[in-house]
Amino acid sequence: MTLGVQSRPAPRPLDLRLYLVTDTVMTAPHGLISTIRAAVAGGATVVQLRDPDASDDEFVALGRMVQVCLRDSGVPLIINDRVHLVGEIGADGAHVGQDDLDPLAAREQLGGSAYLGLSCTTAEEVRAAAALPPGTVDYLGLGPVRATATKPDHAAPLGPDKVCSLADLAAAAALPSVAIGGIDIAVAGRLRGSALGGIAVVSAVCAAPDPETASRELRSLWDAHPVPS
Ligand code: TZP
Ligand code: MG
């Protein structure tokens, strides 16, 4: 039986400070697992497995390896899009976009203990997320902040100021949020001190010559400002 949203116990809050989204091709030089290990050693607080080109079977195989790698780290594993594979992989939750499985259906499928994230690009999407029954989504991904080659079909870039104002809107509804899209050290610096809970990166870590150092620099920069109340 799935646990309804109404009876969902409050989950352990997610630490969103440095949210790594993986890219299997970008991580090829070091390997996906070594890159994830390095990112966690450098301070990544969440890992999302994202591989839109993989078959479900390939994705499950990757996901199980990542799950084993993260098992004792305390860093949760979130699955991009494929809510139906969370259980099989033993992941901690899923992240859906506006065109993926509806968040209510995703929550129904996940049950109460898994995390669910939702991507939002507009104030209307943030308001719609805030109007969902409490406990449906645990956090929002806001962006893209800047244009990025990592996701060629991304929406028009918002810029740091607009993303920070969406984060204010989310925070007013008690929804934690993380910014994504084109984030590097310079952009991260412009997002500090906002209502955002953290920054989500793909290329800044996955394509870095030294993923551990890249993660450490981003995390240190983010930690160097007061946590929003
Ligand atoms: N969703 C919105 S932008 C994006 C995703 C998955 C890609 C972000 O990649 P990068 O390399 O950090 O710009
Ligand atoms: Mg998606």
Question: Does residue 91 contact residue 111 with C-beta atoms inside 8 Å?
Answer: no
Does residue 9 lie within any of the structural domains? no
Q: How far apart are CA 12 and CA 32, in angstroms?
A: 27
Please tell me the distance between residue 3's alpha carbon and the centre of ligand 1 in angstroms.
32
Instruction: Please report which ligand is nearest the Cα atom of 82.
Output: 2
For the chain, give the number of residues. Answer: 229
Return the ligand 1 atom nearest residue 203 CA: 11
Ligand 1: lining residues by beta carbon, under 6 Å: 21, 143-144, 148, 150-151, 154, 180-183, 201-204
Q: What is the mean pLDDT of each run of 10 residues along the chain (229 residues)?
A: 58 93 97 98 98 98 98 97 98 97 98 97 98 97 97 94 98 98 97 96 98 98 74
- Whole-prediction pTM: 0.95
Q: How far apart are CA 24 and CA 43, in angstroms?
A: 20
Question: Does residue 154 contact residue 147 with C-beta atoms inside 8 Å?
Answer: yes
Dihedral over alpha carbons 48, 54, 60, 66 (to 10 degrees): -40
Return the ligand 1 atom nearest residue 182 CA: 13
The reply, when asked if residue 161 is annotated as ligand binding, is no
Please tell me the distance between residue 160's alpha carbon and the centre of ligand 1 in angstroms.
14
Does residue 84 lie within any of the structural domains? yes
Question: Does residue 127 contact residue 169 with C-beta atoms inside 8 Å?
Answer: yes
Q: How far apart are CA 92 and CA 79, in angstroms?
A: 8
Q: Residue 214 maps to which CATH number?
A: 3.20.20.70
Looking at the structure of the chain, the number of domains it has is 1
Which residues, including other chains, have CB under 8 Å from residue 155's CB and lie 6 or more apart?
Answer: 121, 144
Whole-number pLDDT of residue 6: 58
Residue numbers of the domain that contains 165: 18-223
Does residue 50 lie within any of the structural domains? yes
Q: Contacts for 155-162 with beta carbons within 8 Å, 24 or more apart?
A: 155/121, 157/181, 157/182, 158/121, 160/187, 160/190, 160/191
Residue 224's SS3 state is coil
Does residue 228 lie within any of the structural domains? no
Q: Whose CA is nearest to atom 11 of ligand 1?
A: 203
Does residue 2 lie within any of the structural domains? no
Please tell me the distance between residue 102's alpha carbon and the centre of ligand 2 in angstroms.
11
Whole-number pLDDT of residue 11: 74
Helix H or strand E segment including 141: strand 139-142
Does residue 3 lie within any of the structural domains? no
Please tell me the distance between residue 203's alpha carbon and the centre of ligand 1 in angstroms.
8
Instruction: Please report which ligand is nearest the Cα atom of 179.
Output: 1
